[in-house]
Amino acid sequence: MIEVSGITVRFGGVTSLDGMSVTFAAGTCGLIGPNGAGKTTFFNVLSGFVRPASGSVQAFGEDLLSMAHFRRARWGVRRTFQTEQAIENLSVYHNVSMIHEHSKLSGSSRQDDVLGAIGLVGLESVAYAKVRTLGAGQRRLVEVARAIVGKPKLVLLDEPAAGLPEAETAHLGEIIRGIPEHTGAMTILVDHDMSLVSSCCENTAVLDFGKMIASGPTAEVLRNEQVVRAYLGAEDVAA
Amino acid sequence: MSTAQLATEAKPTTPSAPPRVERGFYVRAAIIAVAVVAVIVLLPQILSLYYIDAMTQVAVYSIVALGLGVLVGRVGLISLGQAAVLAIGAWVAARLLFATSLPYEVVLLAAGVITMLLGTLVGLPALRMRGLYLALITLMLAGAITVVLASLNFPNGGHGFSGYNGALLHIPPIRRPGIAQTDPAYFRYSVIAAVIMFLIVLIHVRTKPGRAWAAIRQSEPAALAAGINTTMYKLWAFALASFVTGVAGGVLAGAVRYLYSIDFQTQDSITLLAVVLMGGAYSMWGAIVAGLLYQLLPAILNDLGISPDWLTILFGIGVLQVLTTAPTGIVDQLPKDIAKLIRFISGSSRRSAANQGSAS
């Protein structure tokens, strides 16, 4: 469980997150909102790239914000990036095993674990190919494999389906739905593909202009009037 | 529980275990070993003394280029201070050679380690800076080191650690290892030193630090998100680059036998970066090409009676060409160009044969 309370992030005069408070329960949760709502900034706070002006994050009883950024990965925070960041010059295997190389997890089952994660995302046929030879969809899966290998506690997926064709999005959805069962990790999914979010996430929270405007069971949240207005624009604004 | 579960449940689709060595590894290693032996045995037989000395310099500057290649090509840190780092290595080695009777190999190791400590200090700003600003800072530091060395009458030839005897006329030559007194023998000695440095860097590049550097170069956020301590690995890169450059300085001291601060100009660092980019910063072979460009090319021009100053212009054009059309450098581009040329020649000869056939 993750309790976020009063997180505020400012970049110069822009307030990207404005006292954001939310609680994510176990399982896979969605985080949606219009462009610029602060979703990626929130992920950057969790992974330590952005230091909030105020607020706190309690993750499984630990104060996440006091941890150095590279230690958070060792502790169990994993993420994928909006613009995919699989390391081109390394093989798929080494991209995934990187997590183990820089953590203090026991070494005996490392190889099996890495191969297991590669198998789970369905990249076994290219396990030893260099990432630069792969297509966009496969590269995203490399990132997902890197996020679920080892013993992740919190997996952050930042628009994993952006730019993917429908068939690959469906495959990705299957993998995301399998994450809690296979790793026991809590997953937060940010995406604009609402069918992916509703098929993967029981609960969903909605950010707009750095504030939480709704949270709860996904189906209800997506019907929420305020949420619809945030996405489509208020009628009076349109008129 | 989760890891075990993950492994067992995914069994049917689990890929096979990674191969121990890459395909063709032994063949390539054997070819390289033969080439190295050929260089060590044959080159001194066929080359004149002038070119043997030039090739010793190539060995030295290949090591320097190798170190710079680690920073630029592997980690993406641009240093314009490598000539100063080389000067530190040469200075430390020269002083140790004058003041002690330690074996040459021990002196080389000490020069490497001391240079590594100093060079890592130069790398400290790199933890906060990248790109242009890091380049500027390292350039300034290099300038400062050059000024200090010049004002200390670097290296002068007196005895003891301080080494200043005031009598510029009677500076004894820097000693060489007992097994490598002559120029051809010293050439062989420096090639072996270079091979060892290349092996040390190769081991780094092919293992955990090399993979961490690859991640840092492409994306620092991704590296951090994978749990990589980017600060430590950047310092590690500076330490490794400084170590090999320090050893190169030690080899250089014995090669030239007399060192002058004027031989280590701040702008040499800029030329070094240029030849490393031209040779190919992403490949270790590029370091050898860089060494050849930096030392053999001027020697050839000198031999032909052409001023090596023309090289500055040539290198300028070369860097421009690399940056615009061939970012991976000569080492990657030349084989492709040759293949293209061969295709073109064989294509045109086939065409002319076909033309003749139709004519007759």
Q: Do B228 and A102 lie within an 8 Å CB cutoff?
A: yes
Residue B118 belongs to a domain: yes
Residue B125 belongs to a domain: yes
The pLDDT score that the predictor gives to residue A112 is: 86
Helix/strand/coil for A208: strand
- Distance between A66 CA and the closest CA of chain B, angstroms: 16
Residue B318 belongs to a domain: yes
Provide the domain limits for residue A161. Answer: 2-83+152-238
Which of A102, A146, A182 is facing B5, going by the closest CB pair?
A: A182
Q: CA of B224: how far to CAs of A48, A51, A70, A76, B227, in Å?
A: 9, 15, 5, 12, 5
The pLDDT score that the predictor gives to residue B281 is: 87
Distance CA B126, CA B139 (A): 12
ipTM of the complex: 0.88
Strands (E) in chain B, as ranges, are: none
Task: Assess A69–B contact: CB distance below 8 Å, yes or no.
Answer: yes
Residue A110 belongs to a domain: no
Q: Do A94 and B230 lie within an 8 Å CB cutoff?
A: no
Which chain B residues are within 8 Å of A86, Cβ to Cβ? Answer: 222
- As given in the structure block, the two tokens for residue A143 are 């990132």
CATH number, domain of A26, equals: 3.40.50.300
Q: Is the pLDDT of residue B147 over 90?
A: no
- Distance between B267 CA and the closest CA of chain A, angstroms: 32
Distance CA B70, CA B281 (A): 8
Q: Do A112 and B208 lie within an 8 Å CB cutoff?
A: no
Which of A70, A78, A109 is facing B228, going by the closest CB pair?
A: A70
Distance CA B129, CA B131 (A): 7
Residues 6+ apart with CB under 8 A from B318: B274, B278, B293
Task: Assess A129–B contact: CB distance below 8 Å, yes or no.
Answer: no
The pLDDT score that the predictor gives to residue B195 is: 96
B301-319 mean pLDDT: 88
Q: Do A125 and B1 lie within an 8 Å CB cutoff?
A: no
CA dihedral A72, A74, A75, A80 (to 10 degrees): 60
Confidence class for position B291, pLDDT limits 50, 70, 90:
very high
Q: What is the mean pLDDT of chain B?
A: 86
pTM: 0.87
Distance CA A151, CA B144 (A): 49
What phi and psi values does residue B67 have, to the nearest 5 degrees?
A: -65, -45
Quickly tell me which residue has 């090399």 as its tokens: B210
Distance CA B21, CA B5 (A): 29
- Least confident interval from A109-113, A158-162, B166-170, B321-325: B166-170
Interval A84-117: pLDDT, tens: 899 999 999 999 999 988 887 666 678 888 998 9
Neighbour-count burial for B235-268, b at 16+ CB within 10 Å, e otherwise: bbbbbbbbbbbbbbbbbbbbbbeebebeebbbeb
Residue B76 belongs to a domain: yes
- Distance between A86 CA and the closest CA of chain B, angstroms: 8
The pLDDT score that the predictor gives to residue B265 is: 83
Q: Is the pLDDT of residue B7 over 70?
A: no
Q: Could you tell me which chain B residue has the CA closest to the CA of A81?
A: B222
Confidence class for position B151, pLDDT limits 50, 70, 90:
confident
Q: Do B215 and A90 lie within an 8 Å CB cutoff?
A: yes
| DSSP percent split of chain B into helix, strand, coil, nearest 5 | 75, 0, 25
Distance CA B275, CA B297 (A): 11
The total domain count for chain A is 1
Provide the domain limits for residue B42. Answer: 32-161+178-336
Q: Are residues B276 and B72 in contact, defined by beta-carbon separation less than 8 angstroms? A: yes
Residues 6+ apart with CB under 8 A from B75: B213, B216, B217, B233, B234, B237
- Distance between B215 CA and the closest CA of chain A, angstroms: 6
The total domain count for chain B is 1
CATH number, domain of B292, equals: 1.10.3470
Which chain B residues are within 8 Å of A123, Cβ to Cβ? Answer: 15
Q: Are residues A102 and A75 in contact, defined by beta-carbon separation less than 8 angstroms? A: no
The pLDDT score that the predictor gives to residue B121 is: 82
What order do you get walking across the sheet with A28-32 strand by strand? Answer: A77-79, A154-158, A186-190, A28-32, A203-208, A211-217
Q: Are residues A39 and A118 in contact, defined by beta-carbon separation less than 8 angstroms? A: no
Q: Is the pLDDT of residue B350 over 80?
A: no
Q: Is the pLDDT of residue B132 over 60?
A: yes
Helix/strand/coil for B159: coil
Confidence class for position B154, pLDDT limits 50, 70, 90:
low
Q: Which residues of chain A have pLDDT under 70?
A: 105-108, 233-239
Which chain B residues are within 8 Å of A88, Cβ to Cβ? Answer: 218
| A103: number of Cβ within 10 Å | 19
Interval B326-339: pLDDT, tens: 888 888 888 888 88
| DSSP percent split of chain A into helix, strand, coil, nearest 5 | 45, 25, 30
Distance CA B210, CA A17 (A): 37
Q: Are residues B65 and B290 in contact, defined by beta-carbon separation less than 8 angstroms? A: yes
Residue A94 belongs to a domain: no
Distance CA B54, CA B35 (A): 19
B53-71 mean pLDDT: 96
Residues of B with CB under 8 A from a CB of A: 1-7, 9-11, 13-19, 208, 211-212, 214-215, 218-219, 221-222, 224-230
The pLDDT score that the predictor gives to residue B5 is: 41
* Single-letter code of the amino acid located at A237: V
Residue B140 belongs to a domain: yes
